[in-house]
A and B are shown apart, each in its own frame.
Chain A
């Protein structure tokens, strides 16, 4: 099992560019989520999904879109990158009943927006 994988590991964008951060898991987990982590701010929930076809907003959803067409994949789209979106992005997954169970995190994507 690869667990939770994220690509790319590093990315530099110019302001206004768009891109998709990829997240995939091979554990057949229903619950998946995206977080961003900034110095001194901890992890903040961007979007989450309780299953294929179902997504919902977290604490800081503005500027991001998600979709969940399969159980395995949960991509995060930045529509028009801004310097405020410079951060480390983590994807996580867990079994059904997600928030009550262990969250498995991917290795993170380090994004810089100039």
Chain B
């Protein structure tokens, strides 16, 4: 099993829809969890950290389920500008950060 796995997509959803991404990780001792966003031919940028209690930032909600070893990202009322690749990132143990392969999202007008 890969250390961090994501559905590669692409997800094609109409503007205004709600879209959800899941990510699973293999190491139960993983410490920190993040979602990054990467636009085409650009560097990744932090979208949000994921906390044990779940957290929300505007239209974005992140959840962590340690028992099942997955994290999720929910985007409500999706905008055209949300089109990007979303990367699940896990601090597996200690000093190494592992990126998932990313899920491509296309918001359709």
Total number of B residues with any Cβ neighbor in A under 8 Å: 23
A41-B101, A90-B44, A105-B43 given; A99·B96 CB < 8 A = yes
Is there a chain B Cβ closer than 8 Å to A42's Cβ?
Answer: yes
A41-B101, A99-B91, A100-B31 given; A106·B43 CB < 8 A = yes
Contacts of A103 in B (CB 8 A): 36, 44, 46, 89, 97
Total number of A residues with any Cβ neighbor in B under 8 Å: 24
Work out how many contacts link A and B, with CB atoms closer than 8 A.
55
Q: A88: shortest Cβ distance to chain B, in Å? A: 8
23 A-B residue pairings within 8 Å (CB atoms): A35-B99, A40-B101, A42-B102, A43-B44, A43-B87, A44-B99, A45-B96, A45-B97, A45-B98, A59-B96, A90-B44, A99-B91, A99-B95, A99-B96, A100-B31, A100-B91, A102-B34, A102-B46, A102-B49, A103-B89, A103-B97, A105-B44, A108-B43
